[in-house]
Amino acid sequence: MIDLIPGFIQGIIRVIISYPFDNIRTNIQTQKYSSIADFYKNMNLSKLYRGCYIPLITIPIDRSIQFYIFEECNKRNFTTIRSSFTATLLTSIYSVPVNYLQTKIMTNINTNINIIKTLSYKGFYSDLSRSFISSFLYLTIYGKLRDNIPKEKHNYFIFGITSSTLMWSIVYPLDTIRVLKQTSDTTYNNIIKTTSIRNYYRGFPIVILRSIPSSGFGMMSYEYTRNIINQYKDTV
């Protein structure tokens, strides 16, 4: 279906730009490395895209479905919040095992990956919560900006960065809990007890830094492709 293309392209751009940043961030969250400098000192740079094939396959599909549902709900005059909720609810659950596998590869656990055996719902509750809340907030913020700012003043690059920055500022502690749970055998209770407020935001500057090119160019490509498709549909 042609309307799935914009989200698919957005997903590809997001993965290509974001993956190295996410790799560094994940390793800092687990305290395997103390900083970006420490990561570069000890990590083979050729491994920055280690495991990238997983999100490169799954995320474009996820984004194509999510944004398609979001736009279809908007066409049916759903509120922005209702559209975001519907799109997020239908696409959150299946992302959990994929995120788990990706985290394992990034942190060099289970080097010889057997995909079938490694897929798991470990960390299900933290990952589901983080996935749902982050997608819901992102779509809601982005939708509100697009709906409430006059079209002639739309800047999708800025919209994408703003939505991503505000979303991550809220959900980042949940993402840290997710990573710690998926890379250890500890309990949620122990993670909460032993993780300081500062450590909940370990690697946070990296995710904000990556939001500039990733979300900015991702949403520009999404809206540009969507506009071309709408123009095409108007001519046939």
Percent of the chain past pLDDT 70, that is, above it, reads 87
Return d(Cα 199, Cα 25) in angstroms, integer. Answer: 12
The boundaries of the domain holding residue 110 are 2-235
CB burial of residue 233 (10 Å; 0-12, 13-18, 19+): exposed
DSSP secondary structure code for residue 187 in this structure = -
What are the pLDDT digits (tens) for 60-109? 988 999 999 999 999 999 999 999 999 998 777 767 667 777 777 777 65
Please tell me the total count of domains within the chain: 1
Q: Which range scores top for mean pLDDT: 19-23, 54-58, 70-74?
A: 70-74
What are the pLDDT digits (tens) for 104-158? 777 765 544 554 455 555 667 777 888 889 999 999 999 999 999 999 999 999 9
pTM of this prediction?
Answer: 0.84
Provide the token pair at 211: 């939001």
Return d(Cα 60, Cα 9) in angstroms, integer. Answer: 7
Provide the token pair at 152: 């002639």
Q: What is the pLDDT of residue 41?
A: 73
Provide the token pair at 62: 């996820």
CATH number at residue 209: 1.50.40.10
